[in-house]
Structure 1
């Protein structure tokens, strides 16, 4: 009865720790949220438990010897396929790397709890949450992030002048003719800017929208 209780306890602790990480990801509207992290961690814990205790009935000290790490080791490589599904390549940016890394770490936490390493699993959970929450804020405070502006206008000269006067670092500018009509020469302007504060971006968007001839503006 003691072993069965210990197994259930490990599964529950694994699920709770993973839910904390999953909740943080869900709060940011990421691809993998609470349920995904919960299932990954509980599944990893179960695999570790099977690897450790699932073959006790056939083991014999002289005739049958098994490596208890062989099954659990497959989690490390197998979780890579699930993590790859959360990575999205959009134009020139890659999104989902942090979520994929979080799933990989969650699988490791599940393995640690399944092995009975409670301290390591709990400590890893705390460190992952610190990395996702605290370091995310630090990243916003100290590092600039690229924003992609797609602006459609009849005259891009005022738009370019506004961008140059905005104080943002311009990484890339691409100009395409969106219309071949001589009466309505619409131009598509794609600009990559670096900014630290979302509030500054919003101010720039409002300023550009007020320029005569601007038809639309999209930021991602």
Structure 2
């Protein structure tokens, strides 16, 4: 085995040149564009997270390709740059896993975690010198996040969707009949109705009891518009979209 010489080290330092800096700069720009889109949508992982993930992945690849020039060629050294890329793929899962939240039957953060994974892939491609491929994936990212939702909404118009609404209304004022009429009037079919009485703790207050209503409907219309119409129905105290204890109240 031969020890590295001063000449070898000088050659190794010569590899730290503009191509490597350009690779890191490309990763910085492309991943910043991805992160900016997430930041404008006020997601958990925004501009800084995606930029740093992509830039770090690019640096790992640059180090993997050019950082071991002083030991290559030695008989006892096995050199495989692709191993670093494999470790990036597995290691980024820890960041993505921390962005996914599960609350009962609702899962949030999957798209953000996937975008972080894509940012790491773009940075890895830029670090490997595949700038055109990284730019293509960045453009594909914007196509997916901006182009797919309108397309999905258009396609869903032809397929009836099942939705659930949680309501509270005052007992004894005929609100249930009005609720069902409003739902059918907006083009929805009522699949299931479940009610539960909420008795007031102070029976002497004279305030009427309220009823909790779980309403399952199916239709091609706008569920948000239905929820807004139901909230204006006489006797209805609150309307919520989704399963039990959702986050927003109309």
Q: What TM-score comes out, normalization by structure 2 length?
A: 0.76
Distance verdict in 2 for CA 1:62–1:202, change over 3 Å? closer
DSSP-derived class of the 2:77 partner: coil
Structure 1 position 206, deviation (Å):
3.7
Match of 1:105 among 115, 118, 122: 118
- 1:14–1:110 CA contact under 8 A, matched in 2: yes
- Write the mapping of 1:37-186 to structure 2, written as runs, cut at 5 A: 37-143=50-156, 148-155=164-171, 156-168=176-188, 173-179=193-199, 184-186=208-210
What is residue 190 of structure 1 aligned with on the other side?
A: 214
| Change over 3 Å in CA distance of 1:146–1:15 after alignment to 2 | farther
User: Which is further off, 141-150 or 128-137?
Assistant: 141-150
Q: CA deviation at 1:92?
A: 2.4
Conservation of the 8 A alpha-carbon contact between 2:188 and 2:220: no
Gaps of 5+ in 2: 1-13, 242-247
Cα displacement string for residues 86-111 of structure 1 (whole angstroms, at most 9, x for unaligned residues): 22223423222222211111111111
Question: Number of residue pairs matched?
Answer: 218
2:40 aligned residue: 27
**Moved beyond 6 Å, runs of 4+:** none
Distance 1:12 1:105 in 2: 17
The secondary structure found in structure 2 opposite 1:160 is: helix
Q: Mark the CA change 1:107 to 1:201 in structure 2 (over 3 Å): closer, same or farther.
A: same
Inter-partner Cα distance in structure 2 for 1:169 and 1:10: 56
Aligned-residue offset at 1:169: 5.1
Gaps of 5+ in 1: none
What secondary structure is seen at the aligned counterpart in 2 of 1:3? coil
Give the TM-score taking structure 1 as reference length: 0.85
Query: Secondary structure of the equivalent of 2:215?
Result: strand
| Aligned match of 2:237 | 215
Alignment partners' CA distance in 2, 1:171 and 1:45:
52
SS of aligned partner of 1:70: helix
- Maintained 8 Å contact 1:142/1:196: no
- Of structures 1 and 2, the larger Rg is shown by 2
**Cα deviation, residue 60, structure 1:** 2.3
